[in-house]
Structure 1
Amino acid sequence: MPLYLNRLTLSHFRSHLHVSLEPDARPVVLYGLNGAGKTNLIEAVSLFSPGRGMRRASAQDMTRRPEALGWKVNGLVETPEGLQDIAFQSEQGAPRQVRINDKPAAQTRLGELVRVLWLLPSMDRLWIEGAEGRRRFLDRMTLSFFPNHGDVSLTYEKAMRERNRLLKDQVRDPMWYKALEAQMAQTGAVIHANRQRALDRIAEAQDQASTQFPAAQLDLVQTEGTMPETADDLRVAFEESRFRDLAAGRTLVGPHRADLYGVFAAKGVPAADSSTGEQKALLISLVLANARALVKDFGAPPIVLLDEVAAHLDASRRSALYDEISALGAQAWMTGTGPELFTELGSRAQYFEVTETSTGTIVSARDGL
């Protein structure tokens, strides 16, 4: 059974006062002028995946201004487990609430029902900026395979924050650290194993596909030294690093110091040294590989969000991307300034024009190209 949204309703979300779409399982094209609200629409779709959405925004930041009354996003989602009514709501800046089939639900449940991948223009510099962005990219891929990865990561980060507080306060009594380091070691080992298993799945999906997008060889590395892989090794590493960490005022070893190293496989060139176009193509390749791997693992292709992706590809690469999305059977939500960017898709997609007005955004279904 395919995975797709067949109804999306927004109320007071970002620039949208009230919008309702009823797409089918085909790719969705959203086109309109810059600032019309296209990216806000796909941000709403990104909420159907665990986490804070593709912009990592707070609930308060998502509310429509100047009213700031709160917001609501509702969707009917066809999933391998059947039709699910999923709603998100925040009242006047309060934390987001999730309801599935009119019952309160945890973020983990979203990860069991829905898989959402995305590629944004802000990610184009992924290979040449800091390790934090690459780590986040890796963790999003990992979360798509292992829905518990988010909860494990939160547990690790909470324990690390408490340990860092002790370090900043120059607490030297080992008894204060042991329980926290044991918890960090246990969860840190799971984080590392999940990441490595996710990279193995991505590598397999790339090896089994013939595509016009270049494959990337990916390795998980440590920004300093080597990453202890087992819980026992991590616990020892935390203990041995304690004096160094006291001097720094923070934890200097562990999965939060990992980095994703990529190489343009066909050329043997590090991704960071590749051209801008090659770096973009490598990112697209990874998103497509992630989607193919999920078909095997999850039983259905994920929902894919591609913001302004067509503007950065020539006609042949655009055509190749659209062919791969269609072959996957994924409901890919794509944005662009005009319908001409999607000519190669033709009737394989559905089209919506997004127009900004003085009273809010209008989203209008248009005939296929």
Structure 2
Amino acid sequence: MTATGAQPAAVIGLTHLALTQFRNYRHLALELGLQPVVLVGVNGAGKTNLLEAISLLGPGSGLHRAKLSEIDFRGPGNQANMAWAVHAKVQTAGGEFALGTGRDPLAQTQTGRDRRLARINGAPARSQADFADILSVQWLVPAMDGLFDDAASARRRYLDRLVTGIDSSHAARIAGYESAMRERARLLRGEVGAAPADLDAWLDALEAEMSGSAVAIAASRCEAVDALNLALADGDGPFPRASLAATGAVEAWLTEGPALAAEEKLRAQLKAARASDAASGVTEWGTHRSDLDVVYLGRSLGTAPLRAAECSTGEQRALLLSIALAEARLTKSRRGEAPILLLDEAVSHLDGQRREALFAEILALGLQAWLTGTDRDLFRPLIGHAQFFAVEDGRIHNL
């Protein structure tokens, strides 16, 4: 299978990964080439924990969406309750970058809540969203098997991760939107003392900020979905083809008229919903309510197109893998660098034809894909083309 549509681009990948007090790893230092990485070991050995550490080098809370304190090492070597940390060196077309992130060990004492630190080349970053300017990290894990049957919020996070891989500024827009939404909610709950006139002016300003950010977020989602659909159409292997659509009020308004009109509509809706939002504690309008709709092309349910939620588990897994490969092709074409792709136990569910097609596309795209499994034999086609490691109880050695 060839990477149809991808343009020549630089290989991006981790050349060094170090974990401290992370899950079942007390200490780990791993030197790497830019080839794909295969992690082999029994269930519970720590393969997924390694992928989670890499996922934290992107925006958001990682592939498990775990609380910061839940990631700390629980073994006998952490009696002092040391905070976890992840450090990596990343090779890109622009050179090598040192990235670091971890739980702030002082935050609980100082503020009563956990906080995550992010550093780039030793200097503090504004947030982990800044990592998106350096690399794109995408993943497929078994927990995503129910993505299309899950709540809309799960599909929305997945969509935004895809969009951020293509457009690194998307993560910062979402962070700004969510910050303004939280501040608006605080005002509506009466947590900030202010005169009625001042309160209205403050709410007006926050709702204007939310509306502008929301329209930019929706536009970025729609543009990325259109591009992903073209990339999916370019696929020429045995994986199913999908059609994606970003759905929501703001996305719909953008198809009906100009962006300024969509901003005005959202601002009016937010203002009209102040009382109901205050009573319910939920912000009714905005791009945090949007969803991702996926259809399996070429298949139908009666006379209707077959939606992903109506597919079998195997078909849903194949759809997600097809989307991941299309995103990799598109990211490489747009950014000039392919993403780091984390595939946890994805190979064991594939037949031989799809497994070989996946490996061929990974190699054709020059991806530093990280693949996990319990059976080394499944990865035989990658021998000589990938780095093989055995994982055993928080320890790693070359195979």
Task: Normalising by structure 2, report the TM-score.
Answer: 0.84
The alpha-carbon deviation at position 174 of structure 1 amounts to 5.1
Q: Report the Cα distance in structure 1 between the residues aligned to 2:251 and 2:53, rounded to whole angstroms.
A: 39
Cα distance per residue 1:286-325 (max 9 Å; x no partner):
1111110011111111110011111222222211111111
Q: Report the Cα distance in structure 2 between the residues aligned to 1:301 and 1:342, rounded to whole angstroms.
A: 21
Conserved 8 A contact 2:239-2:322:
yes
The equivalent of 2:117 in structure 1 is: 97
The equivalent of 2:149 in structure 1 is: 128
Matched, 1:51 2:51: no
The equivalent of 2:168 in structure 1 is: 147
Query: Which of 227, 249, 267 is residue 235 of structure 1 equivalent to?
Result: 267
Count residues in correspondence. 361
The letter for the 1-side match of 2:101 is F
Report 1:330-345 matches (<5 A): 330-345=367-382
Q: Secondary structure at the match of 2:348?
A: helix
Q: Report the Cα distance in structure 2 between the residues aligned to 1:226 and 1:297, rounded to whole angstroms.
A: 23
The equivalent of 1:362 in structure 2 is: 395
The equivalent of 2:291 in structure 1 is: 259
Matched, 1:295 2:356: no
Query: Which of 243, 247, 264 is residue 217 of structure 1 equivalent to?
Result: 243
Report 1:1-16 matches (<5 A): 1-16=10-25
The letter for the 2-side match of 1:131 is A
Matched, 1:181 2:207: yes
The alpha-carbon deviation at position 259 of structure 1 amounts to 0.8
Conserved 8 A contact 1:11-1:73:
yes
Q: Report the Cα distance in structure 2 between the residues aligned to 1:137 and 1:21, rounded to whole angstroms.
A: 29
Q: Report the Cα distance in structure 1 between the residues aligned to 2:282 and 2:47, rounded to whole angstroms.
A: 40
Conserved 8 A contact 1:167-1:250:
no
**Where do 5+ consecutive residues of structure 1 fail to align?**
none
Q: Report the Cα distance in structure 2 between the residues aligned to 1:225 and 1:365, rounded to whole angstroms.
A: 50
Q: Report the Cα distance in structure 1 between the residues aligned to 2:118 and 2:265, rounded to whole angstroms.
A: 38
Q: Report the Cα distance in structure 2 between the residues aligned to 1:305 and 1:56, rounded to whole angstroms.
A: 15
Report 1:193-212 matches (<5 A): 193-212=219-238
Q: Report the Cα distance in structure 1 between the residues aligned to 2:200 and 2:175, rounded to whole angstroms.
A: 24
Q: Report the Cα distance in structure 1 between the residues aligned to 2:178 and 2:117, rounded to whole angstroms.
A: 22
> Which stretch shows the higher mean deviation, 196-205 or 55-64?
55-64
The letter for the 1-side match of 2:271 is E
Q: Secondary structure at the match of 1:347?
A: coil
Q: Report the Cα distance in structure 2 between the residues aligned to 1:225 and 1:150, rounded to whole angstroms.
A: 18
The equivalent of 2:99 in structure 1 is: 86
The letter for the 2-side match of 1:238 is L
> Which stretch shows the higher mean deviation, 60-69 or 320-329?
60-69
Conserved 8 A contact 1:188-1:254:
yes
Conserved 8 A contact 2:24-2:73:
yes
Determine what percentage of the aligned residue pairs are the same residue: 40
> Which stretch shows the higher mean deviation, 74-83 or 151-160?
151-160
**Where do 5+ consecutive residues of structure 2 fail to align?**
1-9, 108-114, 255-261, 300-304
Q: Report the Cα distance in structure 1 between the residues aligned to 2:182 and 2:95, rounded to whole angstroms.
A: 40
Q: Report the Cα distance in structure 2 between the residues aligned to 1:88 and 1:279, rounded to whole angstroms.
A: 33
Cα distance per residue 1:332-365 (max 9 Å; x no partner):
0011112122123232221100011xxxx22010
Conserved 8 A contact 2:218-2:251:
no
Q: Secondary structure at the match of 1:88?
A: strand
The alpha-carbon deviation at position 219 of structure 1 amounts to 1.1
The Cα RMSD (Å) is 2.3
The alpha-carbon deviation at position 248 of structure 1 amounts to 3.9
Conserved 8 A contact 2:91-2:97:
yes
Conserved 8 A contact 1:12-1:70:
yes
Q: Report the Cα distance in structure 2 between the residues aligned to 1:199 and 1:337, rounded to whole angstroms.
A: 34
Q: Secondary structure at the match of 2:90?
A: strand
Q: Report the Cα distance in structure 2 between the residues aligned to 1:73 and 1:316, rounded to whole angstroms.
A: 36
The alpha-carbon deviation at position 46 of structure 1 amounts to 1.3
Conserved 8 A contact 1:227-1:253:
no
Conserved 8 A contact 1:309-1:335:
yes
The letter for the 2-side match of 1:76 is K
Conserved 8 A contact 1:291-1:302:
yes
Conserved 8 A contact 2:18-2:30:
yes
Matched, 1:316 2:353: yes
The equivalent of 1:158 in structure 2 is: 179
Q: Secondary structure at the match of 1:311?
A: coil
